[in-house]
Structure 1
Amino acid sequence: MLEQPARHNRRSSLTGLLLPLSDRCLVLPNVAVAELIGFQAGSPVLASPEWLLGWIDWRGQRLPLLSFESACGGQLQVGERARIVVLNALGSSPLRFVALLVQGIPRSCKLDSQLNYVDVPLAALEMAAVQVGEQVARVPDLPALEQLLVNAGVV
C-alpha cells in the first residue's frame, strides 16, 4: 500500500530515438521504429512525387521509401552515411510499415513527460519541436505522413 503513492509521484518516461536528417533531427518513441537497415536505392515509381524515392524490399515486403525533408518542401539529399529506418505504420491506412531515409545512425534518448517545447516554425508534417538535451528535435506527424502516401496513390 505504501508503494503506490511513490509510483504516482514518479515521472513517466520512455526511450526515444533521434533520427538525423540532412536539415533537421526527428524524435520518435523507439517503439515506432521496427528496424534500422543499410541504405538501398528504391526501385523507381513512374510519375511519383520527388519525396517518394521508390520501393524497397524488406523482410519479404515492398515498402515505400520516402524523404521526410523533401516531403516537407526541402531538398532531397542522400549522404554517405545514409540509412533507412523502417517505421511501424500508425494510421488507418493499409500500410503496415514505411521506410524513411535518414542521414546516419539514430541515437537513443530518454524522453519524459516534462518535455520542453520550442517555438520554431514547423513544416506541414511536423507536430512540434522539443528540446532533447542540447538539440532541438521535431516530432513528425506519422499519420499525416501515411496519409500523404495514400493521397499520392502509393497504397
Structure 2
Amino acid sequence: MNQAPAAGTTPQTLSSLLLPLTDRTLLVPSVALAELINQRPAEPRIGVPDWYLGDIIWRDLRLPLLSFETASSGTPPAAPAPGARIAVINALGGRPHLKFFALLVQGIPRPHKLDASLAPAGAPLAALELDSAQVEGGVARIPDLVGLEQKLADIGLI
C-alpha cells in the first residue's frame, strides 16, 4: 500500500508528460497541460513570424497556436501529422493578458513519472530548450515555456 509522504518531505516522483513534436520530444510537468484538444484550423494573422501558426478558439478564448520546433530552431513549420493534437498550455510568466497558449503536437502525449534516477542526456540544445534528459524511448528536451511566452511579448501579441 502506498503511503503519502510525511509532512515536510518532498514527493519522490513528479508526474510529467512527453509531448511528441516533429523532430523532438518535450518533457513538461503534467500541470503545464490545461487540456489536449483535437487539431482544428487556426485563423492566420498577418505580419507574424512563421512559428505563430494563427489563433484558435478554446473555451471562448482566443489562443495563439505556436510551433515550438520553428520558434526554437527556425525550421519551417511542419504539416500536422495524422493524429496531430493541440496542447493547451497554462502560461507561467505572470502576464495578465496571457493565461494560456497552444502548441501543435504530433500525437498524444505520454505520461512519464520523473524520479531521482532521471539522467541528463547531454544533448545539444536549441533555443528555448533548458536541458535534455534520458527517458524511456530516447532523449526528451525540457522547454523554456516562459521564454516562449516572451517571444509572444516581443512581437507585441500580449
**TM-score, length basis structure 1:** 0.91
2:132 corresponds to 1:129: yes
**Percent of aligned positions that are identical:** 52
How many pairs does the alignment contain?
A: 152
Using a 3 Å threshold, how does the CA distance of structure 1 residues 131 and 7 change in structure 2: closer, same or farther?
farther
Using a 3 Å threshold, how does the CA distance of structure 1 residues 51 and 12 change in structure 2: closer, same or farther?
same
* Separation of aligned partners in 2, 1:38 and 1:102: 10
Counterpart residue type for residue 94 of structure 2 = S
Residues 11-40 of structure 1: per-residue CA shift (max 9 Å, x gap): 621111000000000011100000000001
Contact 2:44 2:54 in 1 (8 A): yes
* Separation of aligned partners in 1, 2:66 and 2:125: 19
Secondary structure of the 1:144 match is helix
Aligned-residue offset at 1:79: 1.4
2:50 corresponds to 1:50: yes
2:108 corresponds to 1:105: yes
Using a 3 Å threshold, how does the CA distance of structure 1 residues 132 and 7 change in structure 2: closer, same or farther?
farther
* Aligned CA-pair RMSD: 2.0
* Separation of aligned partners in 2, 1:6 and 1:92: 31
Contact 2:50 2:76 in 1 (8 A): no
Q: Where in structure 2 are the equivalents of 1:83-102 lying within 5 Å?
A: 83-94=85-96, 95-102=98-105
2:77 corresponds to 1:76: yes
Runs of 4+ in 1 over 2 A off after TM superposition: 5-11
Map of 2:153 onto structure 1: 150
Secondary structure of the 1:148 match is helix
Contact 1:93 1:147 in 2 (8 A): no
In structure 2, runs of 5+ residues without a counterpart are none
Aligned-residue offset at 1:76: 1.0
**TM-score, length basis structure 2:** 0.89
Residues 113-148 of structure 1: per-residue CA shift (max 9 Å, x gap): 332111111111000000112320000001101001
Aligned-residue offset at 1:8: 8.1
Counterpart residue type for residue 39 of structure 1 = Q
* Separation of aligned partners in 1, 2:21 and 2:115: 23
Aligned-residue offset at 1:149: 0.6
